[in-house]
Amino acid sequence: MSQPILTDPMDQHRIGAPLLEIRDLQVAFATQGGMVPAVNGVSLTLLQGETLAIVGESGSGKTTTALSVIKLLPGSAQITGGSILFDGVDLTTLSEKELQKVRGKQIGFVPQDPMSNLNPVWRIGFQVEETLVANGKATRGQDARAKAIAVLEQAGLSDAAERMRQYPHQFSGGMRQRVLIGIGLSSTPKLLIADEPTSALDVTVQRVILDHLAKLTAESGTSVLFITHDLGLAAERAQKLVVMYKGRVVEAGPSIELLQNPQHPYTKRLVAAAPSLASQRLQHSSTSVSGADLRGDDGVDVDLVATAEDRAARAKKSLTAPPAVQVENLTKVFQISSGKLRSEPFTAVDSVSFSIAKGTTTALVGESGSGKSTVARLVLKLDEPTSGRIVVDGRDLADTRGKDLLALRRRMQPVFQDPFGSLDPLYNIGATIAEPLRAHRVGDRHEQRARVLELLDQVSLPKQLVDRYPNELSGGQRQRVAIARALALKPDIVVLDEAVSALDVLVQAQILALLGELQSELDLTYLFITHDLAVVRLIADNVCVMRKGKIVEAASTSEVFDNPREQYTQELLAAIPGAGIKLGA
Partner 1 sequence: MVWYILRRVLQVIPVFLGATLLIYFMVFALPGDPIAALGGDRGLNPAVADAIRSRYHLDEPFIVQYFYYLQGIFTGNLGTTFSGQPVSEILARTLPVTFRLAIIAIVIEAVAGILIGLIAGLRKNGAFDTVSLLFSLVLISMPIFVLAFLAQFVFAIQLGWARTTVSGEAPFSELILPAFVLAFFVVANVIRLTRTSVIENLDADFVRTATAKGLSRPRIIRVHVLRNSLIPVVTLIGTDFGLLIVGATVTEGIFNVPGVGNTLFKAILLSEAPTVVSFVTVFVIVYLISNLLVDILYAFLDPRIRYGK
Q: Residue numbers of the site for partner 1 (CB under 8 A)?
A: 70, 72, 74, 96, 100-105, 108-109, 111, 113, 116-123, 130-131, 134-135, 167, 169-170, 180, 183-184, 187, 337, 339-341
Q: What span, in angstroms and rounded, lies between the C-alpha atoms of 110 and 70?
A: 12
Closest distance between partner 1 and the C-beta of residue 116, in Å? 4
Least distance (Å) from partner 1 to the CB of residue 114?
10
Beta bridge partners of 113: none
Is residue 531 within 8 A of residue 366, CB to CB? The reply is yes
Q: Which residue, 17 or 341, has its beta carbon nearer to partner 1?
A: 341
Contacts of 252 (CB under 8 A, 6+ apart): 44, 240, 241, 242, 243, 258
CB 493 within 8 A of CB 414: no
Angle at 234 (CA atoms; ends 228, 240), nearest 5 degrees: 115
Between residues 64 and 557, which has the closer beta carbon with respect to partner 1?
64
In the complex, least distance from residue 191 CB atom to partner 1, rounded to whole angstroms: 12
Of the pair 142, 337, the CB lying nearest partner 1 is at 337
CB of residue 175 to partner 1, shortest distance in Å: 15
Q: Smallest distance from the beta carbon of 397 to partner 1, in angstroms?
A: 32
Pick 16 or 141: Cβ nearer partner 1: 141
Quote the least distance from Cβ 30 to partner 1, whole Å.
13
CA distance 89 to 105: 15
Query: Judged by CB, which is closer to partner 1: 117, or 288?
Result: 117
Burial class, 166, CB count within 10 angstroms (exposed 0-12 / middle 13-18 / buried 19+): middle
CA distances for 128 relative to 138, 179, 253, 385, angstroms: 11, 8, 36, 44
Separation CA 516–CA 310 (nearest Å): 9
Three-point CA angle 529, 532, 538, nearest 5°? 85
Please name the helix (run of DSSP H) or strand (run of DSSP E) that holds residue 390, with its range, or none: strand 387-392
Q: Which is nearer to partner 1, 168 or 247 (CB)?
A: 168
Q: Judged by CB, which is closer to partner 1: 92, or 279?
A: 92
Shortest distance, position 95 Cβ to partner 1, whole Å? 12
Nearest approach, Cβ of residue 43 and partner 1 (Å): 23
Nearer CB in complex with partner 1: 100/558: 100
Decide: residue 316, CB within 10 A, 0-12 exposed, 13-18 middle, 19+ buried: exposed
Specify whether the CB–CB gap between 314 and 547 falls below 8 A: no
| Alpha-carbon span 148 to 399, nearest angstrom | 58
Nearer to partner 1, 51 or 106 (CB): 106
Tell the smallest beta-carbon distance from residue 357 to partner 1 (Å): 44
CB of 198 to partner 1, least distance (A): 16
Whether 416 contacts 498, CB under 8 Å: yes
How far is the C-alpha of 52 from the C-alpha of 225, rounded, in Å? 5
Q: Which is nearer to partner 1, 136 or 322 (CB)?
A: 136
Give least dist CB 73 to partner 1, A.
10
Separation of alpha carbons 513 and 496, rounded Å: 14
Residue 79 vs 183, nearer CB to partner 1:
183
Q: Which helix (H) or strand (E) holds 567?
A: helix 567-575
Angle in degrees, CA 509, 482, 472, rounded to 5: 90
Query: Distance of alpha carbon 309 from its chain centroid, rounded?
Result: 24
